[in-house]
Amino acid sequence: MFKVKILIAGLMVSALPLQAQTPVYLDDNQPIESRVEDALSRMTLQEKVAMTHAQSKFCSPGVARLGIPEFWMTDGPHGIRPEVLWDEWDQAGWTNDSCVAYPALTCLAATWSPEMSHLYGKSIGEEARYRNKTVILGPGVNIYRTPLNGRNFEYMGEDPYLASRMVVPYVQGVQENGVAACVKHYALNNHEANRHTTNVIVDDRALYEIYLPAFKAAVQEGNTWTIMGSYNLYKDQHGCHNEYLLNDILKGEWGFDGVVVSDWGGTHDTDQAITNGLDMEFGSWTNGLSNGTSNAYDNYYLAQPYLQRIQSGQVGTTELDDKVRRILRLAFRTNMDRNRPYGSMLSPEHYAAARQIGEEGIVLLQNNNQVLPIQTGNKPRIAVIGENAIKMMTVGGGSSSLKVEREVSPLDGIRQRAAGQAEVLYARGYVGDASGEYNGVVTGQDLSDARSADELLAEAVQLAGGVDYVIFVGGLNKSSHQDCEDSDRAGLELPYNQDAVISALAKANKNLVVVNVSGNAVAMPWVKEVPAIVQAWFLGSEAGNSLASVLFGDVNPSGKLPFTFPARLEDVAAHQLGEYPGTPDENGIYQQRYNEGIFVGYRWTDKQKKVKPLFPFGHGLSYTTFAYGKPKADSKTMTADGKLAITVPIKNTGSREGQEVVQLYISDKKSSLPRPVKELKAFEKISLQPGEEKDVTFIIDKEALCYFDDARHEWVAEPGQFEALVAASAGDVRGVVPFVLD
In SS3 terms, 248-287 reads as HHHHHHCCCCCEEECCCCCCCCHHHHHHCCCCEECCCCCC
User: Is 603 a member of any domain?
Assistant: no
Residues 322 and 231 in one domain: yes
DSSP classification of residue 405 = S
Distance of alpha carbon 35 from alpha carbon 49, whole angstroms: 19
The kind and range of the H/E element at 116 are helix 114-130
- Cβ of 294: how many Cβ atoms within 10 Å? 9
Check: CB of residue 357 under 8 Å from CB of residue 116: yes
pLDDT at 286: 77
Instruction: Specify the DSSP class assigned to residue 654.
Output: S
Average pLDDT, the chain: 95
> Is pLDDT of 154 > 50?
yes
* pLDDT at 17 (0 to 100): 43
| Final residue before a domain boundary, out of 333, 349, 372 | 333
CATH of the domain at 518: 3.40.50.1700
CA nearest to 129, candidates 328, 325, 337:
337
Which residue type sits at 407? E
DSSP run (H or E) holding 482: none
Residues 319 and 398 in one domain: no
Helices (H), 22-95: 32-41, 45-50
| Sign of the alpha-carbon torsion through 572, 573, 576, 579 | negative
pLDDT the model gives residue 19: 44
Is the per-residue pLDDT at 549 higher than 90? yes
pLDDT reported for residue 11? 39
- Which of the residues 75, 159, 263, 668 is marked catalytic? 263
Q: What is the pLDDT of residue 293?
A: 56
- Percent of the chain at pLDDT > 70 equals 96
Q: Are 308 and 390 in the same domain? A: no
Q: Helix, strand or coil for residue 117?
A: helix
Average pLDDT over residues 650-669: 98
Supply the pTM of this predicted model: 0.96
586's CB contacts (< 8 A; 6+ apart) are: none
- For the chain, how many residues are written? 742
- Domain-ending residue, one of 508, 529, 555: 555
**Do 407 and 282 share a structural domain?**
no
**Residue 387 shares a structural domain with residue 314:** no
Higher per-residue confidence, 14 vs 150: 150
Confidence (pLDDT) at 285: 85
Question: Which residue in 79, 91, 95, 94 sits closest to 128, CA to CA?
Answer: 79
Instruction: Please tell me whether residue 6 adopts helix, strand or coil conformation.
Output: strand
Whether 474 contacts 493, CB under 8 Å: no
Please determine, for residue 5, whether its predicted confidence score (pLDDT) is greater than 60: no
Q: How confident is the model at residue 346 (pLDDT cuts 50, 70, 90)?
A: very high
Examine the pLDDT at 371 and tell me if it is beyond 70: yes
- Per-residue model confidence (pLDDT) at position 291: 62
Chain segment 567-591, per-residue pLDDT in tens: 999 999 999 998 999 989 999 999 9
Tell me, yes or no, whether 606 lies in a domain.
no
Query: Quick one: average pLDDT of 605-624?
Result: 96
- pLDDT of residue 260 exceeding 60, the answer is yes
Q: Say whether both 435 and 487 belong to one domain.
A: yes
Mean pLDDT of 437-444: 92
The predicted structure's pLDDT at residue 1: 39
Count up the domains in the chain and report the number: 3
In this structure, the answer to whether residues 303 and 410 fall within a common structural domain is: no
How sure is the predictor about 20, in pLDDT bands with cuts at 50, 70 and 90?
low
What CATH number has the domain bearing residue 110?
Answer: 3.20.20.300
Domain region containing 56? 5-333
Report whether 440 contacts 91 (CB < 8 A): yes
pLDDT at 294: 60
Residues 472-531 have pLDDT tens digits of: 999 999 999 999 999 999 999 999 999 999 999 999 999 999 999 999 999 999 999 999
Distance in angstroms (rounded) separating the CA atoms of residues 178 and 442: 32
Residues 6+ apart with CB under 8 A from 131: 74, 80, 97, 343, 345
Q: Inform me whether the pLDDT recorded for 132 exceeds 90.
A: yes
CB 617 within 8 A of CB 600: no
| Cα separation, 126 vs 617, whole angstroms | 32
Would residue 440 count as lying in a domain?
yes
Whether 679 is in a domain gets the answer yes
- 345, part of any domain: no
Q: What angle do CA 319, 321, 323 make, to 5 degrees?
A: 70
Does the annotation mark 269 as catalytic?
Answer: no
Tell me: do 103 and 25 sit in the same domain: yes
Q: E-strand spans in 290-390? A: 363-367, 381-385
The answer to the question of residue 629 being in a domain is yes
pLDDT attached to residue 87: 86
Separation between Cα atoms, residue 322 and residue 251, nearest integer Å: 11
Q: Could you tell me the CATH number of the domain that includes residue 635?
A: 2.60.40.10
Last residue of one domain, picked from the residues 513, 529, 555: 555
State the pairing for strand pair 590-593/198-201: parallel
Report, as an integer, the average pLDDT of 670-691: 97
Do residues 157 and 97 touch, judged by C-beta distance below 8 A? no
* 377, part of any domain: yes
Please name the residue ranges forming H helices in 134-266.
160-175, 204-206, 213-220
pLDDT, one tens digit per residue, over 272-318 is 999 999 999 999 987 766 765 567 899 999 999 999 999 999 999 99
- Residue 155 domain flag: yes
pLDDT of residue 661: 98
Are 324 and 367 part of one and the same domain? no
Q: Is residue 85 located within the same domain as residue 23?
A: yes
**How confident is the model over 671-686, as a mean pLDDT?**
97
Residues 64 and 200 in one domain: yes
What pLDDT does 224 receive? 99
The answer on 730 and 646 residing in a single domain is yes
